[in-house]
Structure 1
Amino acid sequence: MQKPASPPFRHTPYDGSSQPFTVGLKPVTEETWLEPDPNLTRYLAEKEHLFTNALETVFRAEPATDAAQREVLNLVADNLERFHTGSHRLSGGAVEVLESGQRVGLEETPALLTASRLVQEDLILMRPGPDGYRLAAASLCFPSSWSLAEKFGQSMTGIHDNVPGFNGGRMGQMVARIFDNMKTGQLVGRFNWSVYPDGDLHHPRPKQIRPEISGSALARLFLRVERQTLRRLPGSGDILFTIKIHHDPLAALAASEDRAELARNLRRQLLDLDADQLAYKGLVSTRDALAEALDGLFAAAQ
């Protein structure tokens, strides 16, 4: 198990700034659309390992998505050249990742796979059709308990069939309207968080947290934060959906300057989850013990 090398808690949606199982979209700037960080080399190395050893598990694309894939690659390369010269350099028809020296040729295909080899984000293309938007292409190396093979080609309804309150509820209707009405040039984002038993990035299978989470067991858990962004591609009209994973060890809460507030708000969000939401997050048998441990951390910080 590898732990993150960068300082933890870059994003803390469990602090009350976001609410679980809500849309919660907020504007994102072009400067902050992509997030290369000190873990860039490690993330890209893990992607290369998956592309070499499990390509069909992490990459799928409909044949008619080639032009849209190229749009994504052009957007990514342009953004890196404009805003991330400290981590990437564009020259001679290739992008160099400065820390590792890896060079990725921009003419390599499939273009979506090439774009994914440059950034920590996973890249997903959603295409409109008779049943709404469907998953038409994806480079998904770091899923949070879902399988690309199972979801590929499915509509938003199928993709979210196990998400509490999505289908048949207000959230699903809101997301459908957002996708239909999104304008070219509009860039928005949202966050999800979960608790995971390890720091692995590639998590395609459902997980359950064991109930023994007090003491040293608590220190072995990780807060997994998904930063998601949405934008419409100007040529194809597809929606590009990006996911950046942040994996923060829960043990680092004790060393955080904001540990009391973070522990208190995370505990509150845990206790507010209903039975279906707890099951979805794999916390049915562990929520109360985790909340108690966080309460102790909050009290110790006072």
Structure 2
Amino acid sequence: MFRHTPYDGTSQPFTVGLKPVAEEDWLDVDSGLARQLAEKERLFKEARDAVFRAEPQTEAAQREVLDLVVGHLQRHCGASHQVGTDVVMLADTGRQVSLNEGPDLLTAARLVQEDLVLMRPGPDGYRLVAAALCFPSSWSLAEKFGLSMTGIHDSVPGFNGSRMGQMVARIFDNLKTGQVLCRFNWSVYPDGELHHPEPRQIQLATEEDALARLFLRVERQTLIRLPGSGDILFTIRIHHDPLAVLERQPDRREIAAGLRGQLLALDPAQLAYKGLVTTRDGLADALAAVAD
């Protein structure tokens, strides 16, 4: 069953939508933990330069992130993580992660399903100074590393020079230590791959392909300020669900109707950004059949 369904109308695309959540709900652990962490291990081993980068002078902030993650796991995730002095053992696989091998941001990312991105204030606003980014949604760390929020979001319709961009800048400036803010983003993908740095344009042969072949990709994003450095940790947790599962959801009619409404409300620039220019109408028709 789907864990998060922001496309049902509870969250709107291309809006800020940040809401406070309790500290105990900061990280999002589910039954996909072992599979996603195994994929991270593969990427860190085979393509480390593509999925991990860090500027000099970020070591102290990276250590803060690791301490924050380990402390959270110890307090709230005892069923999935057994935290020791120097290692964390993943309960379902028995695999152990050393806490002393570094870099610390990479070590933290090996423990959780979230990707971890460090944003640091500078003359042009907050910019990306370190990241362990294994599961990007149509963007690459190489393209965005070192950029400010403006540069990172240059391709996002309606962000730069808009109320949305200004609101995000104010939220970053005013975020207090101890606060956890959360938002959701969703998109449609043609396959179930987690590592998706390349842009996508979805093509469907028939309307029936929409539910049989497509995937709903949900990003659960959080913001938290590090108490020592003052940097902001941005986390991205990917949920990637086959649309075929929708027909087994108890609330499938409401979800289908909400997703269809959001698809039909996208303007041409938003459709192009989401890769749905030629697919939107066929997908909307397939969802209408589920919603009836």
TM norm structure 2:
0.99
Question: After superposition, what is the alpha-carbon deviation per residue over 1:75-96, rounded to whole angstroms, capped at 9, x for unaligned?
Answer: 0000000000000001131111
Bigger mean CA deviation after superposition, 9-18 or 140-149: 9-18
Aligned residue for 1:64, secondary structure, equals coil
Task: Quote the Cα distance in structure 1 between the aligned partners of 2:28 and 2:184.
Answer: 14
Q: State the distance in 1 between where 2:290 and 2:207 align.
A: 11
Quote how far apart the aligned CAs of 1:275 are. Answer: 0.5
Choose from 1, 14, 21 the match for 1:21.
Answer: 14
User: Runs (4+) of structure 1 moved beyond 6 Å?
Assistant: none
Q: Which of 72, 78, 86 matches 2:79? A: 86
Q: Tell me which residue corresponds to 1:4.
A: none
**Structure 1 counterpart of 2:138, which letter?**
S
Residue aligning to 1:117: 110
Distance in 2 of aligned mates of 1:285 and 1:49: 34
2:210 and 2:283 in contact (8 A); partners too: no
**1:128-165 Cα deviation digits (max 9, x unpaired):** 00010000000000000001001000000000000000
Give the drift of 1:28.
Answer: 1.3
Give the C-alpha shift of residue 32 in structure 1: 1.1
Q: Does 1:288 align with 2:292?
A: no
Matched with 2:182 is: 189
Match of 1:141, as an amino acid?
A: C
Q: What whole-Å deviation, never above 9, does each CA across 1:58-104 have from its counterpart, x for those lacking one?
A: 00000110000000000000000000000000113111111111111
Partners of 2:132 and 2:85 lie apart in 1 by: 25
Q: 1:222 aligns with which of 211, 215, 231?
A: 215
2:210 corresponds to 1:211: no
Q: Which of 114, 122, 126 pairs up with 1:133?
A: 126
Task: Describe the SS at the equivalent of 1:192.
Answer: strand
Distance in 2 of aligned mates of 1:32 and 1:225: 17
State the Cα distance separating 1:216 from its structure 2 match: 4.1
**In structure 2, what is the equivalent of residue 51 of structure 1?**
44
Q: Which runs of 5+ in 2 are unaligned?
A: none
Q: Aligned partners of 1:18 and 1:148: how far apart in 2?
A: 26
Letter aligned with residue 27 of structure 2: L
RMSD across aligned C-alpha pairs, in angstroms? 0.8
Distance 1:76 1:282, change over 3 A: same
For residues 185 and 149 of structure 1, the distance between their equivalents in structure 2, rounded to whole angstroms, comes to: 31
The worse-fitting range, judged by mean Cα deviation, of 99-108 and 189-198 is 99-108
Q: Which residue of 2 aligns with 1:261?
A: 254
1:298 and 2:291 matched: yes
Q: 1:106 aligns with which of 99, 118, 125?
A: 99
Indicate the larger mover: 44-53 or 209-218.
Answer: 209-218
Aligned residues: 292
Give 1:77's aligned amino acid. V
* Unaligned 5+ runs, structure 1: 1-7
Separation of aligned partners in 2, 1:124 and 1:97: 23
Scaled by the length of structure 1, the TM-score of the pair is 0.95
Equivalent residues in 2 for 1:25-36 (5 A)?
25-36=18-29
Residue 61 of structure 1 corresponds to which residue in structure 2? 54
Helix, strand or coil: the match of 2:151? helix
